[in-house]
Amino acid sequence: MNWKKTIVQVLWVLMGVGTIVLFGAAMIIKNHKACTDIKVEITGADEHLFIDEKDVKDLINEHSNLENKKMNEVNLKAIETELEKTPWVKNAELFFDNNQVLQVRIEERQPVGRVFTVEGSSFYIDSSGVRLPLSDKLSARVPMFTNFPSDKVLMAASDSELLQGVVQMGKFITADSFWRAQIAQVYITPQGTFELTPTVGNQTIVFGDADDLDNKFNNLYTFYKKAWLQNGINTYSKLDVRFENQVVGVKRGAEISVADTAKANAAIQALMIDKSTVKAKATMPAKDSTGTEKEKDKNKLKTSLPQNNKRRSNTFSIVRKSGTLKK
């Protein structure tokens, strides 16, 4: 019986060795086949493609001409390194599939702001704080930050901290459809704080630093809904949101055009309606068995507030310099 057991064990060993040999032979044959095609997939950027499929293929062929080249002759790691030297490429991964097609996965950097320096130069900044060059192809629809104090790559500690504040504010604004449409420009003061210029409305919004972004923007949004739509969007020449749960408004003179105010009010309401529509589509409730939406979900949709997921506060004070009003 022992000799039978030994024979079985030997057969299993031979089968295992044979499988390994066949697998190795198959890999050798495969690696000696030529690359048949290149497929490129670009992710990471929601709206912008500063690098496209043609750019990627040109870079690959510039570094390593794949025409009729065997797969084992292609240095994938070296090509990945070259692709990642491109400013707009955050990450690159390459591999050959079973059909000898080179699969290229590119993660593009996501710009969150365009920064204009006091020296007159400008650059994009991405969500990781990396500077990106301008593109000949297109301009990104991102917030503009003006009056940045330095265009040097190696910055002083204070300028580096300020640039991180730019990144934080840029990420917040670009993530919210309402603020992306409403904030036309962010001015950087000599003190390193921010002042916002709105698209709709003729006033300066004193914002302070980039701390407590959610609370400041929540208060400003609540002010839009409660005060401006009642009193007129051009009633105030300056708004200050630096204080907790309140917005300080400075009234302008009585020369404001009623027609201009009505037009501005309509514009801000349109932005709010558009924002609510986007939110509603993203959170559309399921229908019951009769196909009718539940009343509770309808009420939620009607009162839903902007995209940043935290609930917007409805408790704040409005302080006018010509007399004090609190709500």
Task: Assess contact for 156 and 172: CB atoms under 8 A.
Answer: no
If asked whether residues 201 and 221 sit together in one domain, one would say yes
325 falls within a domain: no
Same-domain check for residues 21 and 46: no
Q: How far apart are CA 3 and CA 6, in angstroms?
A: 5
**Model-level pTM?**
0.69
Residues 81 and 173 occupy one common structural domain: no
Residues 89 and 124 in one domain: no
Q: Which amino acid is at 252?
A: R
Residue 256 domain-assigned?
Answer: yes
Q: Are 189 and 305 contained in the same domain?
A: yes
Q: Is residue 250 part of a domain?
A: yes
The verdict on 104 and 115 lying in the same domain is no
Interior/surface letters 139-163, b for 16+ CB within 10 angstroms, e for the rest = ebebbbbbebbbbeeeeeeebeebb
Burial of 56 (0-12, 13-18, 19+ CB in 10 A): buried
Is residue 327 situated within a structural domain? no
User: H or E stretch including 126?
Assistant: strand 122-126
Torsion from C-alpha of 233, 236, 241, 242, nearest 10 degrees: 170
- What integer pLDDT is reported at residue 11 of this predicted model? 60
Give residue 297's pLDDT. 42
- The residue range of the domain holding 76 is 37-108
CATH code, 43: 3.10.20.310
For the chain (327 residues), the mean pLDDT of every run of 10, in chain order, is 62 59 45 79 80 90 79 89 92 92 93 95 93 87 95 90 96 94 96 95 93 94 82 85 89 56 63 62 48 42 39 42 39
Which residues, including other chains, have CB under 8 Å from residue 288's CB and lie 6 or more apart? Answer: 294
Do 168 and 267 have their domain in common? yes
3-state DSSP assignment of residue 251: strand
Same domain, 25 and 45: no
Residues 138 and 259 in one domain: yes
Residues 65, 143: one domain? Answer: no
Query: Which residue type is seen at 270?
Result: A
The pair of structure tokens assigned to 157 is 């500690």
Say yes or no: 188 and 304 in one domain. yes
pLDDT of residue 70: 83
- Look at residue 231 in the predicted model and tell me its pLDDT: 76
Residue 326 lies in a domain: no
If one counts the domains in the chain, the total is: 3
